[in-house]
Amino acid sequence: MMISIFSKIKKSLGWLVLELQTDGICILHLTAGNPPHVQFATFYPLTQDDIPTVLTRINKALQLDRYDCSHLLSQNDYQISLVETPNVPREELKTAVRWLLKDMLDYHVDDATIDVLDIPIDKNTNTRKAMMYVISARDQLIAQRQDWFDNAKIPVTVIDIPELAQRNIANLIAPAGRGIALLSLQPSGCLLTISYNDELYLSRWLDIQLTQLETLPGEQKLLIFDKLSLELQRTFDHIDRQYNFISLAKLVVTPLVTGGSELMTYLSTNLYIPSENLDLATLFDFSLTPELLEPAQQIRFQMCLGAALRDEGKTL
């Protein structure tokens, strides 16, 4: 879980995820299975109606009180910060973390809702200090979202973030005992995560617009490929230095727009670890949602898919 502000009341039909995007609201429901089964995935565009009105309409259509509902925040809704784990009892951790955050936020730390995510250290060495991610969001934003869902009678019990959603997808494809790098395309850029043993070790948002690959001329594409390759290599070098117990198996890029084959060829040639493109249809059952076979729809719903894989036994 990202922010512990809601109760956890488990229902029986599996997770339903609501994500507010710039042009609409994504709703996706996933049930357990091998592979996990997507029951439905719907996009409600935002046109003349405001968000609360659309949420009310969604609830009337789908009767969301039957589901465990989670809300996936967008990149600009929160801040994720890497800090050294305070040497305090667990029950005092969030209080101690607030002191560390006071100079990292552009608003007063008392106006922040926070949660923490541990980064496991190597059990075979005591030389590295324990680190953690601190996730913070404005109280005002969280209260507004809660009001929207309450007024629409949508029983949201969990708030999540893309980094953890992407970790969940990485855990489906990570080789045993090896780390995996996962790069996803977003309208605002790319999210890169490094996962190992089902845990998130690193996340970075890259200001690189890969969704525009199909429209760019050759020279501009090459500049983007060069920039991306450099940022990836820097990240992999950082992992080698800071977490030398993690052996990266591969870089997976998921999904890709038209023209992405050129990118994969470039990365395979210029990176020292293998690179591959992943079709999410190999991980999920889309028999009831054939529209998700299209790369553009996979890009739109990929974070909802990851968030719907939520495992209460592993998350906060």
Alpha helices in 174-294 (DSSP H): 218-242, 260-270
Contacts of residues 173-179 at CB distance under 8 Å and 24 or more positions apart, as own/partner, are 173/252, 173/278, 173/283, 174/198, 174/249, 175/249, 177/247, 178/247, 178/248, 178/249, 179/239, 179/243, 179/246, 179/247, 179/248, 179/249
Q: Is 34's pLDDT higher than 80? A: yes
In a domain, 93, yes or no: yes
Q: Which of 245, 261, 278 is the last residue of a domain?
A: 278
Q: Is 206's pLDDT higher than 50? A: yes
Q: What are phi and psi of 315, to 5 degrees?
A: -80, 175
Nearest residue to 111 (alpha-carbon basis) of 81, 141, 76 = 141
In a domain, 192, yes or no: yes
Same domain, 186 and 273: yes
Same domain, 209 and 262: yes
Q: Which two tokens stand for residue 61?
A: 């259509």
In a domain, 57, yes or no: no
8 vs 70, more confident: 70
What residue numbers bound the domain in which 112 lies? Answer: 76-136
Same domain, 179 and 272: yes
Task: Label residue 47 by pLDDT band (50, 70, 90).
Answer: confident
Nearest residue to 264 (alpha-carbon basis) of 281, 252, 280, 279 = 252
Strands 199-206, 189-196: pairing is antiparallel
Same domain, 98 and 193: no
CA pair distance 166, 200, nearest whole angstrom: 9
With the C-alpha atoms ordered 140, 145, 151, 153, is the resulting torsion angle positive or negative? negative
Q: What letter does residue 53 receive in the DSSP assignment?
A: H
Q: Is 31's pLDDT higher than 60? A: yes
In a domain, 188, yes or no: yes
Same domain, 204 and 270: yes
Q: Which of 136, 157, 182 is the last residue of a domain?
A: 136
In a domain, 197, yes or no: yes
Tokens 């990851």 found at: 306
Q: Is 3's pLDDT higher than 50? A: no
In a domain, 315, yes or no: no
Around Cβ 33, how many Cβ atoms within 10 Å?
11
Q: Is 1's pLDDT higher than 60? A: no
Same domain, 180 and 264: yes
CA pair distance 120, 100, nearest whole angstrom: 20
| Pair 232, 226: CB distance under 8 Å | no
255: CATH? 3.30.420.40
Q: Which of 136, 161, 181 is the last residue of a domain?
A: 136
Q: Is 25's pLDDT higher than 70? A: yes
Tokens 């996936």 found at: 72
Around Cβ 263, how many Cβ atoms within 10 Å?
22
Q: Is 204's pLDDT higher than 90? A: yes
3-state secondary structure at position 8: coil
Q: What are phi and psi of 67, to 5 degrees?
A: -120, 160
Same domain, 264 and 216: yes
For residue 160, the one-letter residue type is: D
Same domain, 98 and 179: no
In a domain, 116, yes or no: yes
Task: Label residue 155 by pLDDT band (50, 70, 90).
Answer: very high
90: CATH? 3.30.420.380
Q: What is the pLDDT of residues 213-234, one digit of tens each?
A: 777 787 888 888 999 999 999 9
In a domain, 149, yes or no: no
Rg (Cα) of the chain, in Å, rounded?
20
Same domain, 132 and 180: no
Q: How many domains does the chain have?
A: 2
Strands 15-21, 68-72: pairing is parallel
